[in-house]
């Protein structure tokens, strides 16, 4: 560990990271408010790290959480040794974000959803080139929070021993919750809310650059592309625009788990089976044909296609016996001709 820390220090010194740390500390001394954690962004070029220490370089590329912990330990040591911020008492209060400048140009560093482990796989940085198709407005998330032990005799009832910091892929409840217990006396921990640090976050939906070929219909293949949700945090908020292409570099994580989605084996009628086989070469044709003919008695084939497809999806999603209507797919249709819609 001490060898790696020495390498981190050499790298920070060579890359100018140490000088930047000194600069970044200055505004924290001016501010009146005392906070639970202080955030530092460190730009890291993996190639340069490998030149300093191949083991550390490997850690940066394959075990970012561990690498972040090493950089955090060195930053805390520098802050204390050089008396950069008096308000920082423990290493827990130093929130280090490593920003990798590059990744090696090999396939294993490119996000491949087909091979991405469906579970909690290893968390390491990968890159993806994609088009922004949707984004949310900027909202708040908890960057860090201070917790105190409710047992007055415990050393953790004061000070900065229990600090929780947002980690990549973590949900809000992983950072702030009311059932954490003290590591020393196992009593309950209570958040000291006046120390909570909030940051900005924005969700961006990105679709793989290759999906554009499918959308332009030049390619007659059965490939499907799943969009990816990207979390932009803090200084990265509002840095992307809808419709533009970006190469992003991040750590993939399973954030939302939908326990209600199940795959039920079911039997199709023979006609459906034949239709499905006949249209297997295209990802869209089966649903398009089914929607085309849906509701034949009400409207002729080909009319209200989008509405028919919407109704079909709603029927598939909504089960009559389901008491919980939260996951039902609701439809809103607007038209000047209400007669057909009523039918
Ligand atoms: Zn305690």
**CATH code, 71:** 3.30.1640.10
Q: Check pLDDT > 90 for residue 72.
A: yes
- Separation of CA 71 and ligand 1 centre (Å): 28
Å from CA of 177 to ligand 1 middle = 17
Q: Over the stretch 96-123, which tens digit does the pLDDT of each residue have?
A: 999 999 999 998 899 887 776 655 566 7
Question: 98: CA distance to ligand 1 center in Å?
Answer: 31
Do 284 and 315 lie in a common domain?
Answer: yes
Q: Is residue 114 part of a domain?
A: no
Q: Is pLDDT above 90 for 23?
A: yes
Mean pLDDT within 173-200: 90
Cα–Cα distance for residue pair 280/292, rounded to 1 Å: 17
126 and 97 in a common domain: no
**Which range among 202-206, 226-230, 234-238, 269-273 shows the weakest confidence by mean pLDDT?**
269-273
Measured in angstroms, how far is the CA atom of residue 192 from the centroid of ligand 1? 14
d(CA 286, CA 321): 27
Question: Is 62 a domain residue?
Answer: yes
Tell me which residue of 250, 171, 144 sits closest to 204, measured CA to CA. Answer: 250
Q: Are residues 241 and 327 in the same domain?
A: no
CA of 154 to the centre of ligand 1 (A): 5
Based on the domain organization, do 74 and 135 belong to the same domain? no
The per-residue pLDDT for 132 is: 93
Residues 249 and 280 in one domain: no
Position 310 scores a pLDDT of: 87
pLDDT score of 342: 76
Q: For residues 260 and 319, give the distance between their C-alpha atoms in angstroms, rounded to a whole number.
A: 12
Closest by alpha carbon to 137, among 248, 231, 242, 238?
A: 238
Per the structure block, which two tokens stand in for 259? Answer: 């326990």
C-alpha 114 – ligand 1 centre gap (Å): 45
Q: Give the pLDDT of residue 58.
A: 95
Is 23 strand, coil or helix? helix
Residue that is last in its domain, among 67, 102, 137: 102
Phi, psi of 121, deg, nearest 5: -80, 180
SS3 call for 322 = coil
Same domain, 91 and 126: no
Contacts of 204 (CB under 8 A, 6+ apart): 132, 134, 135, 136, 229, 230, 231, 232, 240
How remote is the CA of residue 197 from the centroid of ligand 1, in Å? 23
Q: What distance in angstroms lies between residue 167's CA and the mean position of ligand 1's atoms?
A: 24
Average pLDDT value for the chain = 85
151 CA from centroid of ligand 1 (Å):
6
How crowded is residue 252: how many other Cβ atoms within 10 Å of its Cβ?
A: 20
**Position 84 in a domain:** yes
Residues 19 and 57 in one domain: yes
252 and 274 housed in the same domain:
no
Average pLDDT over residues 295-317: 82
278: in domain = yes
In the reported structure, the alpha carbon of residue 170 is separated from the centroid of ligand 1 by a whole-number distance in angstroms of 25
Residue-wise pLDDT tens digits, 256-302: 555 544 444 456 678 888 888 888 888 888 888 888 888 887 778 88
Distance 29 CA to ligand 1 centre (A): 30
Clarify whether residues 135 and 242 are in a common domain. Answer: yes
CA–centroid distance, residue 158 to ligand 1 (Å): 10
Q: Are strands 245-250 and 126-135 parallel, antiparallel or unpaired?
A: antiparallel
Q: Which of 68, 102, 136 is the last residue of a domain?
A: 102
What average pLDDT does this structure show over 71-95?
Answer: 93
Cα of 40 to ligand 1 centre, how many Å? 29
- What's the CA gap between 28 and 53, in Å, rounded? 32
Within-domain flag for 107: no
Whether residue 324 is predicted with pLDDT greater than 90 in this model: the reply is no
pTM, to two decimals: 0.71
184 CA → ligand 1 middle, Å:
5
Helices (H) and strands (E) in the chain, counts: 11, 9
217 pLDDT tier (thresholds 50, 70, 90): low
Residues with Cβ within 8 Å of residue 160, at least 6 apart in sequence: 36, 89, 90, 92, 93, 146
Compute the distance from residue 275 Cα to the ligand 1 centre, in Å: 66
Q: How far apart are CA 90 and CA 265, in angstroms?
A: 55
Specify the number of domains making up the chain.
Answer: 3
Any domain includes 219 = yes
Same domain, 307 and 236: no
What's the 80 CA to ligand 1 centre distance in angstroms?
A: 26
CA distance 52 to 71: 14
Distance between CA atoms of residues 5 and 72, nearest Å: 10
DSSP string covering 170-222, please?
Answer: --HHHHS-S--B-TTT-PBEEE-GGG-EEEEEEEEEEEETTHHHHHTT-----
Look at residue 262 and tell me if it is in a domain.
no
Q: Could you tell me the distance, in angstroms and rounded to a whole number, from the CA of residue 181 to the centre of ligand 1?
A: 8
Higher pLDDT, 266 or 167: 167
Mean pLDDT, residues 122-145 taken together? 90
Task: State the Cα angle at 308 between 271 and 332, rounded to 5°.
Answer: 150
In sequence order, which residues have a C-beta less than 8 Å from that of residue 137 and are 6 or more positions away? 202
Residue 174 CA to ligand 1 center (angstroms) comes to 20
- Among 72, 102, 132, the domain-final residue is 102
Query: Within a domain: residue 151?
Result: yes
Q: Which two tokens stand for residue 256?
A: 């939302």
Using only C-alpha atoms, the chain has a radius of gyration, in whole angstroms, of 26
Going from the Cα of 157 to the center of ligand 1, the distance in angstroms, rounded, reads: 6
Q: How far is the CA of 178 from the centre of ligand 1 (A)?
A: 15
The CA 190 to ligand 1 mean position distance, Å, reads 11
- Both 69 and 91 in one domain: the answer is yes
Is residue 9 scored above 90 in pLDDT? Answer: yes
**61 and 157 inside one domain:** no
CATH number at residue 221: 2.40.50
> Which of these, 102, 104, 101, 91, lies nearest to 40 by C-alpha position?
91
Q: How far is the CA of 287 from the centre of ligand 1 (A)?
A: 59
Please give the structure tokens belonging to residue 208. Answer: 């793989």
Which pLDDT belongs to residue 302? 81
Q: How far is the CA of 147 from the centre of ligand 1 (A)?
A: 10
Q: pLDDT at position 264, please? A: 47
Instruction: Determine the structural domain holding residue 133 and report its residue range.
Output: 122-256
Nearest residue to 146 (alpha-carbon basis) of 33, 37, 32, 28: 37
CA distances from 106 to 56, 182, 202, 262 (A): 19, 44, 29, 35
Å from CA of 189 to ligand 1 middle: 8
């Amino acid at each position: 560990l001490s060898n790696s820390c020495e390498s981190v220090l050499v790298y920070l010194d060579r890359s100018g990271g140490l000088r930047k740390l000194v600069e970044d500390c200055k505004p924290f001394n001016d501010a009146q408010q005392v906070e639970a954690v202080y955030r530092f962004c460190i730009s890291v070029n993996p190639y340069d790290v490998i030149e300093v220490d191949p083991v550390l370089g490997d850690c940066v590329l394959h075990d970012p959480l561990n690498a972040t912990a090493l950089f955090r330990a060195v930053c805390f040591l520098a802050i204390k040794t050089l008396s950069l911020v008096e308000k920082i008492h423990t290493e827990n209060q130093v929130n280090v974000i490593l920003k990798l400048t590059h990744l090696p140009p090999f396939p294993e560093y490119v996000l491949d959803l087909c091979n991405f482990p469906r579970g909690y796989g290893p968390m390491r940085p990968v890159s993806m080139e994609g088009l922004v198709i949707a984004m949310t407005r900027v909202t708040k998330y908890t960057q860090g929070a201070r917790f105190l032990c409710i047992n007055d005799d415990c050393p953790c009832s004061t000070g900065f021993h229990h600090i929780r910091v947002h980690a990549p892929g973590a949900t809000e409840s992983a950072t702030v919750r009311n059932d954490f217990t003290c590591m020393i006396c196992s009593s309950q921990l209570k958040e000291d809310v006046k120390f909570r640090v909030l940051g900005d976050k924005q969700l961006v939906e990105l679709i793989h650059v290759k999906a554009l070929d499918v959308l332009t219909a030049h390619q007659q293949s059965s490939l499907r592309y799943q969009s990816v949700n990207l979390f932009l945090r803090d200084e990265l908020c509002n840095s992307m625009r809808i419709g533009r292409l970006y190469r992003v570099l991040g750590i993939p994580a399973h954030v939302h788990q939908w326990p209600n989605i199940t795959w039920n084996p079911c039997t199709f009628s023979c006609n459906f089976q034949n239709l499905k086989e006949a249209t297997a070469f295209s990802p869209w044709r089966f649903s398009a044909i089914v929607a085309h003919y849906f509701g034949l008695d009400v409207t002729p084939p080909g009319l209200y296609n989008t509405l028919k497809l919407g109704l079909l999806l709603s029927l598939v999603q909504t089960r009559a016996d389901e008491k919980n209507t939260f996951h039902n797919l609701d439809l809103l249709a607007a038209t000047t001709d209400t007669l057909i819609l009523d039918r």
